[in-house]
Amino acid sequence: MTKILVIHGPNLDLLGKRQPEIYGSFTLDEINKRMKKIAQEEKIEIEFLQSNHEGEIVDAIGEAKNKFSVLLINPAAYTHTSVAIRDAISASGLPCVEVHLSNIYAREEFRHTSLIAPVARGQICGFGIDSYLLGLRAAINLAKARGA
Ligand code: CA2
């Protein structure tokens, strides 16, 4: 059975409550519900994790290896800093789709570098909630291509 793990990094639990001009007005719960609906239509399983802790995300990726077919991750601020999350993705051997709500290349210079992008199959950014929905489509296709 195809199973996708969606990981939301730090502070994404604040979505819809602050800075809607940058991140949109959807809450994380609404984004997850939209993805769940697509997963049901596609008859695949999906699980969600939001964590503000780098080590917790690293552990979840490590444990995903034998349970999930594909990872979909918005590493949030860890995108730009976390060698640990990058190494965990690489070590898992799982295909990974990186998503961002905002266009990280149109923002401050420190956001222009993603340490995750080189170990992801691809990155989608700048489309708000659609980044997640498009990313999920890509993740489902990757899972199908693996026969998982
Ligand atoms: O655009 C994205 O999805 C980001 O991954 C979001 C991160 C940011 O550090 C990345 O550079 C780009 C920030 C997530 C924090 O989200 C908040 C939502 C509402 C209010 C405050 C923060």
pLDDT digits (tens, 9 = 90+) for 41-64: 999 999 999 999 999 999 999 999
> Is residue 100 annotated as a catalytic residue, yes or no?
yes
Specify whether 53 is catalytic. no
* Centroid of ligand 1 to alpha carbon of 67 (angstroms): 28
* pLDDT bracket for residue 1 (50, 70, 90): confident
CB under 8 Å, gap of 24 or more: what pairs does 18-23 form? Answer: 22/101, 22/102, 23/101, 23/102, 23/128
pLDDT at residue 18, as a whole number: 80
Whole-structure pTM over 0.85, yes or no? yes
How many residues are present in the chain?
148
Predicted local confidence at residue 109, as pLDDT = 98
For residue 64, the CA-to-ligand 1 centroid distance in Å is: 24
> In the prediction, which pLDDT does 104 show?
98
Give 146's pLDDT tier (boundaries 50, 70, 90).
confident
Domain over 3-145 is classified CATH 3.40.50.9100: yes
The residues, ordered by sequence, that sit 6+ positions from 38 with a Cβ below 8 Å of its Cβ are 133, 136, 137, 140
Please state, rounded to an integer, the average pLDDT across all residues of the chain. Answer: 96
Q: Kindly list the domain boundaries of the chain, sorted by start residue.
A: 3-145
Q: Are 117 and 101 in contact (CB under 8 A)?
A: no
Ligand 1, atom nearest to 111 Cα: 11
pLDDT at 118: 98
- Map residue 83 onto helix, strand or coil: helix
Match 């594909």 to its residue by tokens.
Answer: 70
pLDDT given for residue 101 in this prediction:
97
Ligand 1, pocket residues at CB < 6 Å:
11-12, 14-15, 18-19, 23, 74, 76-77, 79, 100-102, 104, 111
Quote the pLDDT of residue 148: 72
d(CA 108, ligand 1 centre) in Å: 12
The three-point CA angle 103-106-109 to 5° equals 115
Say how far apart CA 133 and CA 129 lie, in whole Å.
7
The residue with greater pLDDT, 98 or 2, is 98
Return d(Cα 135, Cα 133) in angstroms, integer. Answer: 5
Mean pLDDT within 14-20: 89
